A = this chain, B = another copy of it.
């Protein structure tokens, strides 16, 4: 199966490349579509050394040119937030058999978050093209679910942390180890049952209180639990929504409203929105447990995430970068 990935060096892209390479069920020929100016970047060279083909690919090229480049691709996976209209048109012309637009987040309805709505608008465009597709959401990453420990021993690379519990703390929320995203994707894109469907792939389902309890039990540290009420979250959304410098806060408030207050990042609500779930589709599949992830984190620390976004994060309230909270 020939798979092309746009955004293969990002957080999800890396996980997906690794997941496809590790697959024993299917042999994937992977090609990373890389913009000409990035061909010599270390992360691209690294991809190549793993056995990934690299293709120079410029979204500024004419649609027909892109279509010619996509000829013969079975599955096209997008892992970056770009306007996908021309890309989807080209994929349709090229006869791509499955287009995976960039979702990879929590489940929510339309009209809650601008980013999500943009993803839905992309899906509308895909559906007007009659282009075969699969939407994949993966819940919230373990890697950005951790509260800070009083000892500070997990602060290093704690990119986005759990600064406050939204609402009562008793609403379940689905979470996944970022490194498992690719394993789910490898399974989903080879499954005919998921063609023209939305799939919710997740590993863990627990409430904020259960998550804090687990972190306290395994770390042996007591964490002060801060809370954010539904009204405070709504105020936060109103305050940040039109301020481009508060974009990351806006995202965090809107995500939190959806998962902590509305309980939308759950298999029940996902089914309500028409999703299939990984637990129903692949009962045999076990992702990395939250406990294992957290024990590993205590022992070895977190790996760096999204280093390229440091500037964007300055001024946001729930970010730590390289061991130092940016603001607090």
Q: What 0/1 pattern do residues 267 to 299 of A give for CB contact below 8 A with B?
A: 001011110000000000000000000000000
Cβ of A127: which chain B residues have Cβ within 8 Å of it? 109-110, 272-273
Give CA–CA (A273, B195) in the complex, Å.
11
Contacting B at CB under 8 A, from A212-258, are none
In the complex, what residue of chain B is closest to A125 when comparing beta carbons? Answer: B111
In the complex, what residue of chain B is closest to A271 when comparing beta carbons? Answer: B196
Closest CB in chain B relative to A158 CB, distance in Å: 32
Closest CB in chain B relative to A17 CB, distance in Å: 29
Closest CB in chain B relative to A91 CB, distance in Å: 15
Chain A interface: which size bin? Answer: 10 to 19
Partner of A272 from the list B130, B262, B273 (CB cut-off 8 Å) is: B130
A130-B262, A262-B130 are contacts. A272–B196 as well, Cβ < 8 Å?
yes
Total copies of the chain: 2
Cβ of A271: which chain B residues have Cβ within 8 Å of it? 196
CB of A112 closer than 8 Å to a CB of B: yes
Partner of A128 from the list B109, B130, B196 (CB cut-off 8 Å) is: B109
Contacting pair A130 B196 (CB below 8 A)? no
Closest CB in chain B relative to A327 CB, distance in Å: 31
CB of A11 closer than 8 Å to a CB of B: no
Give CA–CA (A135, B151) in the complex, Å.
53
CB of A197 closer than 8 Å to a CB of B: yes
Contacting B at CB under 8 A, from A96-113, are 109-112
Q: Which residues of A contact B (CB under 8 A)?
A: 109-112, 124-125, 127-128, 130, 132, 196-198, 262, 269, 271-274
Which 8 A-B residue pairings sit nearest by Cβ, starting from the closest?
A109-B127, A110-B124, A196-B272, A109-B128, A274-B274, A111-B124, A111-B128, A109-B124
Chosen A-B contacts, 5 in total, with CB atoms closer than 8 Å, are A109-B124, A127-B273, A130-B262, A196-B272, A196-B274
Task: Give 8 new A-B contacts, CB below 8 A, not counting A109-B127, A196-B272.
Answer: A109-B128, A110-B128, A111-B124, A111-B125, A127-B273, A130-B272, A197-B274, A274-B274
